[in-house]
Amino acid sequence: MPLLIPELIRKKRDGESLESDEIREFLTGVTTGEVPDYQISAMLMAVYLRGLDDAELTAWADAMLHSGDVLDLSRIDRAKVDKHSTGGVGDKISLPLAPAVAACGLAVPMVSGRGLGHTGGTLDKLESIPGFRVDLDVETFARIVDRVGACIIGQTERIAPADGVLYALRDVTATVESIPLIASSIMSKKLAEGTDGLVLDCKVGTGAFMKTRERAADLARALLAIGRAAGKSVTAVLTAMDDPIGDRVGNALEVEESIAVLHGEGPADTRELTVRLGAEMLLCVDACETPEEGAERLAAVLDDGSALEIFRRMVEAQGGDPRVVDDPRGILPQAAGRTAVPAAASGYVAAIAADEIGTAALLLGAGRRRKEDRLDPAVGIEIARRSGDAVRAGEPIAYLIHNGHGAEEASARVRAAYDIRDRPPAVSSRILEIMR
């Protein structure tokens, strides 16, 4: 007989543990539509308030994973590994990272998401390349991964459909911040990719969902627990997200920066994250013996053009214009306006509030407030002065790349983001901690 859903809600509300079969039946009902939204919402709030213990978390994530298809990539005779980021401002790392790791001999099947709020989405960035398709069927996806080494697509209706229902309701029931719900949402989709290993980039700071290192570490531990229970090799990396990553924020602008990294150039922090996260991807599937060896290999494929060639082939295989790798500004959409934002004072840039920069880009049209909003792929922000740089009052600290919309308010946001002081700050690595 079907379980009585109100009884399950009561159990979790009162702090009792749910059994694995109870969780499976509940989430099966979520997927089939047999459990109505009002009962799902009640359960989400009960989980938000009471949490899930380790056994419940593992069962919840597993039930979400098996609510849909788990990809079979056994035809690919290389180790398969992916990276997931919890999201940040200017976080374009997947774009250079996937082809770089593929150039080291691994397969990188990547199912990514879209941006919401001030954090950008990998799919939105890639779709700024004319013709690039992220809506491929799973057979085409697997074929490209096998032939090219990397492919990046969006979540299909067949992957973790229970998550799609829960995700939409979490957004409107004030339950988004629940670590068990975040962790199971992420891992149900990532485990469905059929990879051998996974590296999780857990962002910490003003531009991240997790504002404190403690909260980010809690999320990392939950992600690791789910991955290990599924028999996967998983590593979590805590990375700083107080300043924007790199010097471009906005979809086409971030593609341009990613291509620079694939040419062996680009901002130091974008390259550092690409190299260090890539090294951990190699390490977690035993493709190198030490992080140092992995980092050397990643640096080499960025510098010798082999990662760039994989990116070119991936773009072409997914319907995009491969000329973008040689002439990004000639191929990517370009905005009509470029407006300087002057420094309010002289001194040194002590910090740049990433959330303010992200909001400024959103005001220009680079992001979406609601999932149905349309983006302007050409607009965004170029960072002219970064943390540690000297600046004089009136000099440009950033440039707004816009199409005549939102520039005045965005300029105010950018000025507010900059903390200018008398002495230069200590600028350190973005890598805060590695949890293996």
Annotated catalytic sites, by residue? Answer: 84, 163, 170, 185, 189
- Parallel, antiparallel, or unpaired for β 197-204 and 81-85? parallel
Is the separation of the CB atoms in 86 and 208 below 8 Å? yes
Taking the CA atoms of 210, 216, 222 and 227 in sequence, report the sign of the dihedral they define: positive
Tokens at 262, concatenated: 């694939």
Nearest to 250 by CA among 73, 431, 59, 382: 382
User: Counting beta carbons within 10 angstroms of the beta carbon of residue 372, is it exposed (0 to 12), middle (13 to 18) or buried (19 or more)?
Assistant: exposed
Quick check: helix, strand or coil at residue 52?
Answer: coil
Q: Where are the beta strands (DSSP E) in 10-134?
A: 81-85, 108-112
Quick check: helix, strand or coil at residue 311?
Answer: helix
Alpha carbon distance 291, 5 (integer Å)? 48
Nearest to 280 by CA among 130, 169, 434: 434
- Parallel, antiparallel, or unpaired for β 81-85 and 108-112? unpaired
Q: How far, in whole angstroms, is CA 192 from its chain's centroid?
A: 17
Quick check: helix, strand or coil at residue 55?
Answer: helix
- Parallel, antiparallel, or unpaired for β 233-240 and 197-204? parallel
User: Counting beta carbons within 10 angstroms of the beta carbon of residue 169, is it exposed (0 to 12), middle (13 to 18) or buried (19 or more)?
Assistant: middle
Beta-carbon neighbour count of residue 226 at 10 Å? Answer: 27
What does the radius of gyration of the chain's CA atoms come to, in whole angstroms? Answer: 22
User: Counting beta carbons within 10 angstroms of the beta carbon of residue 417, is it exposed (0 to 12), middle (13 to 18) or buried (19 or more)?
Assistant: buried
Q: How far, in whole angstroms, is CA 209 from its chain's centroid?
A: 11
Give how far Cα 384 sits from Cα of 339, 349, 377, 387, 422, Å.
12, 11, 20, 10, 19
